Structure 1
């Protein structure tokens, strides 16, 4: 099983933490970085190889990870010279990748079984499988629905519930054939095109722990909770 870890972003929303470090290397707790945790998890889920798609401060990631032997996982690299979106970096890698592989953002903390995502993807022969998590959004206003100038429905400060993408995907190389390498391609664009083609992605629903470390508040929360999270995220490595 092979994984592609997207680790090339500039982490603008997480500044000032990412001024000198790429986001996947910001420390969580006293001993680990996000990427360290991710590689431990991938190895424990049965992955034996991974490609790190790097860009911003990528040389620091190369220096930290090396060949991946510390995690018992064989690591190679793909250098992103300009921002290509979530899917764009994969287009130049298709000849290096197996038919089916996992793709994940390098800033995700979760106890999702990554191996199970890929196994489901292969078993269902899906073009794309998206791991999803439940999120609730509290609206602090009275919400009105109107029709022809008349209010027909009212809800006071409702809580809306959504399934959101976790930034973890099962993907098939054939899905990306026909897209031109070197051009940006976002996850959103790929999903819209798959829906329009009548080949909808599959869902891998997961309601365990998930935190996308995109903002300083998320990062502070991860560090504050890490003592409790460590055995959940790292298991035998805790």
Structure 2
């Protein structure tokens, strides 16, 4: 039960919150770092090992997490010397990974059952399984469809569109990654498109619970605003927060 947590990004869209802290360490609910919540969840779902792919301000993440003993998870680290996108960091230590494993962004808040995702992946025999969420987008205007002659053939007033989006949580097979070169940037989009081009379709794991990707200040504000409402869903019972990141590193 091995999880890889991608925690090496610069968090540019979340500035100024990420000026002094890497995004996985920004506080939620004035008690927890995002990474604290994730590690608590992983342990509750039976994961006993985690590799943290770190880069920007990675020393602060090391200082906060240490060897993972506070969460009863064995933690090791893989440090990026240069940004390697989503999948690139994994290629540098793919030989150390088990046959099937979990990969997730270090800035995701969700009550997704990580074990169920991994089990679904193994059962499906897919090269990659992506946790997906239906995101609704409201268009504030009437939309038009036209033919080649420029005539309107359809009109819809303020439609609501629904798209399946990646949650930033995946299950993978080690053999899926072995053909790709190391030390070069390689994104999830490139992996998916390459698999599709070779007829190796990834699987989807649909989810309709709580999910928030903390990529922008509005997302971060929303996470703190609703934290008390979703606390019981996000946190295993009986666990105390690890001291706030600024207390540990400052």
Normalising by the smaller structure, the TM-score range is: over 0.9
Unaligned runs of 5+ in 2: 241-250
2:51 aligned counterpart, secondary structure: strand
| Contact kept in structure 1, 2:4 and 2:53, CA below 8 Å | yes
TM-score, scaled relative to structure 2: 0.94
Q: Is structure 2 residue 53 aligned with structure 1 residue 49?
A: no
1:5 aligned counterpart, secondary structure: strand
TM-score, scaled relative to structure 1: 0.98
Question: 1:229: which partner in 2?
Answer: 230
1:48-97 Cα deviation digits (max 9, x unpaired):
00000000000000000001011111100000111111000000111111
How far has the Cα of 1:124 moved from its partner? Answer: 1.4
Q: Is structure 2 residue 180 aligned with structure 1 residue 179?
A: yes
- Alpha-carbon RMSD across the aligned residues, in angstroms, is 0.8
How far has the Cα of 1:235 moved from its partner? Answer: 3.1
How far has the Cα of 1:13 moved from its partner? Answer: 0.2
Residues in 2 aligned to 1:235 and 1:5: alpha-carbon distance in whole angstroms: 19
2:226 aligned counterpart, secondary structure: helix
Residues in 2 aligned to 1:94 and 1:227: alpha-carbon distance in whole angstroms: 38
Question: 1:205: which partner in 2?
Answer: 206
1:235 aligned counterpart, secondary structure: coil
How far has the Cα of 1:171 moved from its partner? Answer: 0.5
| Contact kept in structure 1, 2:44 and 2:236, CA below 8 Å | no
Q: Is structure 2 residue 4 aligned with structure 1 residue 7?
A: no
Unaligned runs of 5+ in 1: none
Question: 1:158: which partner in 2?
Answer: 159
Question: 2:61: which partner in 1?
Answer: 61
Map 1:133-148 onto structure 2 (within 5 A): 133-148=133-148
1:151-191 Cα deviation digits (max 9, x unpaired):
11110110000110000000111111121100110000110
| Contact kept in structure 1, 2:8 and 2:55, CA below 8 Å | yes
How far has the Cα of 1:31 moved from its partner? Answer: 1.4
How far has the Cα of 1:125 moved from its partner? Answer: 1.3
Residues in 2 aligned to 1:62 and 1:122: alpha-carbon distance in whole angstroms: 31
Residues in 1 aligned to 2:183 and 2:87: alpha-carbon distance in whole angstroms: 11
Aligned residues: 238
Question: 2:217: which partner in 1?
Answer: 216
